[in-house]
Amino acid sequence: MIPSDRLILNRFPTRSISRVLRLGFSITIFHGTKKMGFCFSKPQNDDDSEHHVEFAGGNVHLITTKESWDEKLSQARKDGKMVVANFSASWCGPCRMIAPLYCELSEKYPSLMFLTVDVDELTDFSTSWDIKATPTFFFLRDGQQVDKLVGANKPELQRKITAVVDSVNPFHA
């Protein structure tokens, strides 16, 4: 089993590998049963407190335990709110890039509950959601997935959130 501080990529283009190296990752080449791939170790000089500040601003709730996830989903159900859950990683450049917009959207749409889960802190939980890339956004109604967005696509995130708000409140301006 690969440790949680590793990113596994198969058949990755050379220019992408050099880009990952510039981010401070080291590479280990491994052979699986059928494929050869690369395992990237995340930089170890990461300051986790920085992540909490960047990813939990605005009305975004940082989820650090399965229990806090369950509590927030229960609260959202009780309050009649849909949930937007952002599965991210502190070392992920695209996650850091989209975090300010995510926080801004959390303030603009208080009728939704915005959560952030660090895939490295809650590895098993994130695996249960079948996270293949970060960031991954899930849109949940009553704890059930109604939509999903993989990647830091700002216009698409805005569009999906607007669509969710419009589906809950068709008269939203």
pLDDT tier for residue 58 given thresholds of 50, 70 and 90: confident
pLDDT tier for residue 33 given thresholds of 50, 70 and 90: very low
Residue type, 87: F
Question: Distance between CA 129 and CA 142 in Å, rounded?
Answer: 16
**Out of 22-31, 63-72, 118-127, least confident range:** 22-31
pLDDT of residue 52: 44
pTM of the full predicted structure? 0.68
Range among 25-39, 41-55, 148-162 rated most confident: 148-162
Mean pLDDT value across the chain = 77
Q: Residues 85, 92, 122, 157: which is the catalytic one?
A: 92
SS (H, E, C) 47-64: CHHHHHHHHCCCCEEEEC
- Tens-digit pLDDT profile for residues 80-118: 999 999 999 999 999 999 999 999 999 999 999 999 999
Please indicate whether residue 95 is annotated as part of the active site.
yes
Pairing mode, if any, of strands 136-141 and 144-150? antiparallel
Residues 6+ apart with CB under 8 A from 163: 147
**Residue ranges of domains in the chain:** 6-41, 48-168
Q: What is the CATH number of domain 48-168?
A: 3.40.30.10
Q: Residues 84, 89, 95, 161: which is the catalytic one?
A: 95
Residues 6+ apart with CB under 8 A from 41: 5, 6, 25, 26, 28
Residue type, 77: R
Please indicate whether residue 39 is annotated as part of the active site.
no
With a pLDDT cut of 70, the percent of the chain lying above it is: 65
Residue type, 18: S
